[in-house]
Amino acid sequence: MMGPVSRDSGGSILDGLYQQLLRRGIQYFLPSSHLELVGHAPESMPQIVFHETSEPGLHFECLGSRYALTNGRDFTDHEKRMVRSIGRFLSTRYELLFDTEAPAGNMPFFGGLTEDRYVSTFLDGRVFGDTRSATTFPDRVSEAIEVLRISALSSYEDKRISTGALLFGTLPDACHKLPSTPSDALRYSSELTAIRSFHRICDGLRTIALVDDRGAMVELVDVHEWARPFREFDIPVPTARRYRTHTQATLCGGHICLVLTPNGEIKIFGEGAQLFSFFDGRWHLTDAVTKYQLWETAIGPGDLAPRLFSAGLNLAEHRRGGMFVVLENPQYARQLVSGSDLLETDRKERAGAKNQLHYLLRSTRATELSPAVLESIAQIDGSVVLDRDSRLLAFGAILRHSAPVDENEEIGEGGRTAAAIGASQFGDVLMVSEGGQLSFYQKGHCVWTL
């Protein structure tokens, strides 16, 4: 590692610029956090350095300045890793400005979207570990992202294109061996998108491109076959049915899977879970494992938490709205749902045609239903209401709710969000928006959005 960075007369301007880049990067990925400049470091070390303190939040040094980052709660492991990745990339890029031995051919590292580089550093930290690695290793992640982003702007026979790539990892994988690189192998980069057949042979759902450590496209693989050795392995967090094999494909070997979905969203899988998504014009740090753990802790052990979480993800993937309400006490059902909507209500008391079919699911537990049936009833206008023993109390139910308790709670999607906030006073709520987002509400406020 290089020693302290030397600065010329323009250094103070660069320092101010990189402070702004650091602040913007952290605000981009952790919008609810607050970054404060608290002083100057004794010397400007080339890499971000964290310090353990008794004070809340994260405390670190980066490019000669000391910072305190707070969020009103403890930062998750992936949030800490994101901050470290942002600092590492900016520090390395700063060093390259003063490295007279750095080849001019690496100037592309100063182009493109900086947010893509942050994601790349998070996924493959060796690329921007220092100036030597930055000028030696190809930035495969950023190049793959560019391929998917360009592809998202294209269509075939009036249908959106889906495609994907599997970046071969650097960790041991007893089940897969990297094939030799053909002499005429093409680099997995934006130039591929000009080849008309590229999107047809690599659809991202079943077939994906295998990319070697040099960034070359060396093989087409069936992601289901690739993941076959890991099918019996537990994955860290439930995932959407369509992308279960993509997550399994990254359980071993440090492989990274990037997919452009038919919805135009970019998903990135690694370590057996989805790590990032790009939709609505920006990156989102998924942090799925931590978010699922919060949901599982709220619902309790057993099959109900993963069953509802998976159902919510499947609905979100197909852009179908829905809501699951798990009541703390089943007696709350009559406060939240009209009597005619409850499954236990006698048929003679039913008024609507929809309610005439309730006998089909009376005395049924959600964990006993097939996933397809559970997702079908969740798509009916209204909400699925259950107790903590997974007993189905109502479906297609219109919830009684009042104005949000938290006046600062932002309301999106109108009535569904207001209903979720109100229902969360009686239990835990998993809401699926038609825009493809999954949200967990508890005690009148949103705990997380995925």
Taking only the tens place, the pLDDT of each residue in 269-328 is: 999 999 999 998 899 999 999 999 999 999 998 899 999 999 999 999 999 989 999 999
| The two domains 140-286 and 289-449 share their CATH topology (first three levels equal) | yes
Tokens at 407, concatenated: 């006046």
140-286 carries CATH number 3.40.1700.10: yes
Closest CA to 25 of 78, 89, 93, 112: 89
pTM of the model: 0.87
For the chain, the domains span 11-134, 140-286, 289-449
Report d(CA 168, CA 162) in Å as an integer.
20
Q: Quick one: 243 exposed, middle or buried, by C-beta within 10 A (0-12, 13-18, 19+)?
A: buried
Task: Number of helices (H) and strands (E) in the chain: give both, helices first.
Answer: 13, 20
Burial class (CB in 10 A: 0-12, 13-18, 19+), 426: buried
Q: Find the helix packing angle between 11-29 and 77-98, rounded to 10°.
A: 160
Q: Are 127 and 137 in contact (CB under 8 A)?
A: yes
pLDDT string in tens for the chain (450-residue length): 444 444 454 457 777 788 888 899 999 999 999 998 888 776 666 678 888 877 788 888 887 788 889 988 889 999 999 999 999 998 888 888 776 666 655 555 667 789 999 999 999 988 887 778 777 888 999 999 999 999 988 777 777 889 999 999 988 888 888 888 888 999 999 998 888 888 888 899 999 999 998 999 999 999 999 999 998 888 999 999 999 999 999 998 999 999 999 888 999 999 999 999 999 889 999 999 999 999 999 999 889 999 999 999 999 999 998 999 999 988 888 888 887 778 777 655 555 556 667 767 778 888 998 999 999 989 888 889 999 999 998 888 888 765 444 444 444 456 788 888 988 899 999 999 988 899 999 998 899 998
Retrieve residue 435's tokens: 């825009």
CATH of 289-449, one of 3.20.20.140, 3.90.15.10, 3.40.1700.10, 3.30.1330.10: 3.40.1700.10
Residues 208, 188 contacting (CB under 8 angstroms) = no
DSSP letters along 285-337, please? E--HHHHHHHHHHHH-SSSHHHHHHHHHHHHHHTT--EEEEEESSGGGHHHHB
Each residue of 317-359: pLDDT tens digit? 999 989 999 999 888 888 888 877 787 776 555 555 566 677 6
